[in-house]
Structure 1
Amino acid sequence: MWEIARDSGVLDLNSSYAYVLWGAEFSESSVVVEVEGQVVGFVTGFIRPSEPDTIFVWQVGVDADQRGKGLAARLLHSLLDRLAERGVVRLRTTISPDNEASQRTFGAVARDRGMTLSSEDYLSSELLGEGHEQEDLYTIS
């Protein structure tokens, strides 16, 4: 997962420890897909304690060789299908304004599920610092 995040050019890169820990401690709210023993895609997320009916998706990463094949959307559908059994009915995530690929992916997932995608200002670039672009909050409900 760390290598996919590193090579993506758009995801904030966390330590390899963070990705291993995420897989171990948040496996119920995350998805990893492998091809021939190699991780080629992942979704990391968590159930918000204050909103047990909401999954917050932290990162979606797809290996460069697998991009453009709908893998990210399939991973999100898989996660939402699995979490529906736990009463999760809403997805939230943050997306920077220039990440049109993610905006399209989350829009497609919302349409496929007959749901609505909305967005609002969330985290300003000043708050995030270090030249980080603002992050808007997207909700599928």
Structure 2
Amino acid sequence: MPKDVNEIEKQRMRTLVLRKPRSTDGSAIWELVRECTPLDENSMYCNLVQAEHFSDTCVLAEMGGDIVGWISGHMIPNEDALFVWQVAVSPRARGLGLGRRMLEHLIGRDACAEADRLNTTITKDNEASWALFRSFAREVGGEISDKAHYKRDTHFDGQHATEHMVTITLPAADEAETSDAA
């Protein structure tokens, strides 16, 4: 990569801010998701509620003041698992490892401290999502597995591809600290 392009990318990453979303971010989140096909578009109201009610388990990425990344997620009730619903990265911020950085940021939050695994669903043809979550699993030292979960005919009336439940084991906080020190 030419030096000047590399310097531009470094500068962009220096302006990156990962933060909890606010309800006032709902419309910008909705616009970001709309530009990130093949993500399912939710209503703007859904994104507003996610940003307000689930801010502790969602991540917003800003670069130069623009919203360029979003993860919606929640702790699964009565389980020690974080469910990641959507990961959106603006075309302007792709290739910077932003998706993985947002996931790493999210699992480091107090609200996710009890999670011993991360779950998400992915269709078999979504290569970008598979690459992201495999990369994340390698980075955190987690095991990754999947199985058909929400099935095309059973759950989607034949209107949507089967979603595979992906499970990534997460290291305990003390294990992560020990491996970081090594």
Under a length normalisation based on structure 1, what TM-score does the superposition of the two structures give? 0.93
Indicate the structure whose relative CO is greater, using CA pairs within 8 Å and at least 6 residues apart: 1
Q: Which has the larger radius of gyration?
A: 2
Whether 1:8 and 2:36 are equivalent positions in the alignment is: yes
Cα drift, residue 86 of structure 1: 2.8
**Contact kept in structure 2, 1:29 and 1:83, CA below 8 Å:** no
RMSD: 1.4
From 53, 60, 65, give the equivalent of 1:37: 65
Under a length normalisation based on structure 2, what TM-score does the superposition of the two structures give? 0.73
Cα drift, residue 85 of structure 1: 6.2
Whether 1:56 and 2:83 are equivalent positions in the alignment is: yes
Q: Percent identity?
A: 38
Whether 1:110 and 2:137 are equivalent positions in the alignment is: yes
Cα drift, residue 129 of structure 1: 3.6
User: 1:93 is matched with which residue?
Assistant: 120
**Contact kept in structure 1, 2:56 and 2:111, CA below 8 Å:** no
One-letter amino acid of the structure 2 residue matched with residue 17 of structure 1: Y
Q: Relative to total residues, which structure has the larger helix share, 1 or 2?
A: 2
Unaligned regions of 5+ residues in structure 2, if any? 1-28, 170-182
One-letter amino acid of the structure 2 residue matched with residue 61 of structure 1: A
Aligned residues: 140
